[in-house]
Chains A and B, each alone.
Chain A
Amino acid sequence: MSAELTIGFLPLVDACLPILAREHGFAEEEGLSLRLVKDMSWATVLDRLLYGHSDAAHMVAPLAIATTLGRGRPAQPLSVPFVLGLNGNAITMTPDLAAKVHAKGHLGDPTEVGAALRTVAAERREAGRPLRFGVVHRYSSHNYMLRYWLAACGVRPDSDVEITTVAPPFCADALEAGEVDAICVGEPWNSVAVERGVGEIVLVTAQIWRRGVEKVLALRESVLEDRRGHVESLVRALRKAGQHFVDPEHWDANAAILARPEYLDGNADLIKHAISDRLLLTRGGELVHYPDFMFQYREAANFPWVSQAEWLYTQMVRWDGMAFDPLAAAKAALTFRPDVYRSALKGTGEPLPGANSKVEGSVSGPLAVGTQQGNMTLTSDGFFDGGRFDPDDLAGYLAKRP
């Protein structure tokens, strides 16, 4: 008799691992029967998790930390034993704005686009119609990556430009209606906007931070403790799903599965673009290949690096206008649970890094790193502005941000 686990998700390409773990029998092999519950807002995914409708959830990483810290609702400790993927988001602008900040047909350079944007933002602010960006959630990696990029380019979020929340399925509508000038959202929603001719993809978030943490698997801490064995089985199943997901041989079949009505209810061709790291930047243009646009498997992509939780905490301090609090920082760090990931995969062929934290943005070329088991080579994990995040000095890092 297999144990049942219910997982909440939003219809996005990066909900792929739980979906494929179920569809290809990886969960079943681990003695789990997965039930997937689709919702249309992160608020609902979170409510279901907190009130026991689901055991685990596909979640924007900062929301897991915000919930632990009690931002927006009473604090409830969440735990993250597995990162569902890195990056996979893009910044899509109205054709009008895109034309002002970069040359059509290829992805822009983040520094150059930022410089051009600074001029446009100043003009629009002068004219009393400040530029508006849409992000999918206040506590999303999209919001933090966008703000990181803007601020580093001398564009001050909330004063030079406005940033507002738009639900992913309505991003294309918002661009079309002129409610926003640009969106930062996951796939397939950028591609949907391009397909409709209401937006052009100008940057991908992997250009801002090459290894930026994106969605996580989140559980209530008490559920993780009570069902530790099942959670570890799930970690193994998700890892197998990741291996399947990145194999070019399976791209078509996996795109077709994700496109089904019960999952993304979308267009398999567009979904395959994201899976294969190939994007149509403008309607009628050519597919552009950007390696590691989505990053779901290699280089222990799913390992919950404590340093990444801490980076997210520093961004929360920045953009929520909070004071830096070492106790809160420690709580945020504890949300990520590399210990669970390790014990789940110990004795399997999966590589396990030797450390739980790393200096983010410090790897520029292939670097063999010490491991607990297996071999691991990390490649570039840089921020576009050359910034480095040292988890041993959060306050110092914050002091240096614009």
Chain B
Amino acid sequence: MRIAIVDESATRAAVIREGLAAADDCELFVITERRGLVAQISEIAPDIVLIDLGNPSRDVLEEFFAVSRALAKPIAMFVDESDDEATAASVDAGVSAYVVDGLAAHRIRPLLDLAVRRFHAFARLQSDLAEARGALAERQTVDKAKRILMDSRGLPEPAAYKEMRDAAMKQGRRIADIAEAIVTAHNLLGGGR
């Protein structure tokens, strides 16, 4: 079976590809370039096209598939009419599947399930990354607030930090929130200029 993976995120495409590599009897093609997409798909002549839900080229691709109905191997959006849940799950995960007409659902389902799992895995990786980025930003804010206290009140660093920690404990808030409030107040009072 020939499977085309269309995704402008090369990283995600690689994650999907790796996930599907284990599937039997599948040949995988990855397309990350928007330009010439239809020509590439037409050349690959895939049995299944997996494309990320938000891909801006989907209308272009669907137009090609609509025209391809007149061709030897018509392609349509995969909706398993006996079990619409599969399509719903893939939409939730952020992947849409287009399948050559006549390909049996039992051959598609395992592949789609795999793709859905890989999309979820990728989303998890991204949220981990966003969390890590958030943690970094928080640390920077805490440092900035500490600097403001040190400058404005002439405190040494450990004392400035202790001030914030005490305020956080007293108010039942996180140190990052206290730091954020200090930085905001400082900016509002013209100190940030």
Chain A residues within CB distance 8 Å of chain B = 39-44, 47-48, 51-53, 72-74, 136-138, 164-167, 169-170, 177
25 A-B residue pairings within 8 Å (CB atoms): A39-B54, A40-B54, A40-B56, A41-B55, A41-B59, A43-B59, A44-B54, A44-B58, A47-B91, A47-B96, A51-B91, A51-B92, A52-B88, A53-B91, A72-B66, A73-B76, A74-B79, A74-B81, A137-B59, A138-B59, A138-B62, A165-B60, A165-B62, A167-B60, A170-B56
Known contacts A73-B76, A138-B66; A48 and B91 CB within 8 A of each other: yes
B96 adjacent to A43 (CB under 8 Å): yes
In the bound complex, CA of A136 to CA of B87 (Å): 25
A41 adjacent to B66 (CB under 8 Å): no
Known contacts A47-B53, A74-B81, A138-B66; A165 and B91 CB within 8 A of each other: no
Interface centre among B55, B63, B88, B96, by most chain A C-beta atoms within 10 angstroms, is B63
Residues from chain B with a CB closer than 8 A to the CB of A73 are 76-77, 79
Give min CB distance, A15 to chain B, whole Å. Answer: 16
Partner of A72, one of B54, B55, B56, B77: B77
In the bound complex, CA of A173 to CA of B169 (Å): 56
Residues from chain B with a CB closer than 8 A to the CB of A166 are 60
Q: Which positions 44-81 of chain B face chain A at CB distance < 8 Å?
A: 53-60, 62-63, 66, 76-77, 79, 81
Q: Is the interface of A mostly helix, strand, loop or mixed?
A: loop
Known contacts A43-B62, A51-B88, A138-B63; A167 and B53 CB within 8 A of each other: no
In this complex, what residue of A is CB-closest to B36?
A: A179
Chain B residues within CB distance 8 Å of chain A = 34-35, 53-60, 62-63, 66, 76-77, 79, 81, 87-88, 91-92, 96
In the bound complex, CA of A48 to CA of B76 (Å): 18
Interface centre among A39, A41, A53, A167, by most chain B C-beta atoms within 10 angstroms, is A41
In the bound complex, CA of A253 to CA of B34 (Å): 35
In the bound complex, CA of A97 to CA of B68 (Å): 29
In the bound complex, CA of A74 to CA of B78 (Å): 10
In the bound complex, CA of A136 to CA of B62 (Å): 12
B79 adjacent to A165 (CB under 8 Å): no
B59 adjacent to A165 (CB under 8 Å): yes
A41 adjacent to B58 (CB under 8 Å): yes
In this complex, what residue of B is CB-closest to A43?
A: B58
In this complex, what residue of A is CB-closest to B62?
A: A43
In the bound complex, CA of A40 to CA of B53 (Å): 10
In the bound complex, CA of A166 to CA of B63 (Å): 10
| Further 9 A-B residue pairs, CB within 8 A, beyond A42-B59, A164-B63, A167-B56 | A41-B57, A43-B59, A51-B88, A53-B92, A72-B66, A72-B77, A74-B81, A138-B59, A165-B63
B59 adjacent to A167 (CB under 8 Å): yes
Give min CB distance, B19 to chain A, whole Å. Answer: 22
Residues from chain A with a CB closer than 8 A to the CB of B66 are 72, 138
Residues from chain B with a CB closer than 8 A to the CB of A51 are 87-88, 91-92
In this complex, what residue of B is CB-closest to A60?
A: B59
Interface centre among A42, A44, A72, A170, by most chain B C-beta atoms within 10 angstroms, is A44
In the bound complex, CA of A44 to CA of B53 (Å): 6
Residues from chain A with a CB closer than 8 A to the CB of B76 are 72-73
B56 adjacent to A41 (CB under 8 Å): yes
Residues from chain B with a CB closer than 8 A to the CB of A43 are 58-59, 62, 96
Residues from chain B with a CB closer than 8 A to the CB of A42 are 59
Residues from chain B with a CB closer than 8 A to the CB of A177 are 35
Give min CB distance, A292 to chain B, whole Å. Answer: 28
Residues from chain A with a CB closer than 8 A to the CB of B58 are 41, 43-44
Residues from chain A with a CB closer than 8 A to the CB of B63 are 137-138, 164-165
In the bound complex, CA of A166 to CA of B81 (Å): 30
In the bound complex, CA of A165 to CA of B62 (Å): 9
In this complex, what residue of B is CB-closest to A138?
A: B63
Residues from chain A with a CB closer than 8 A to the CB of B55 are 40-41, 44
Known contacts A43-B62, A164-B63; A169 and B91 CB within 8 A of each other: no
Interface centre among B34, B55, B59, B81, by most chain A C-beta atoms within 10 angstroms, is B59
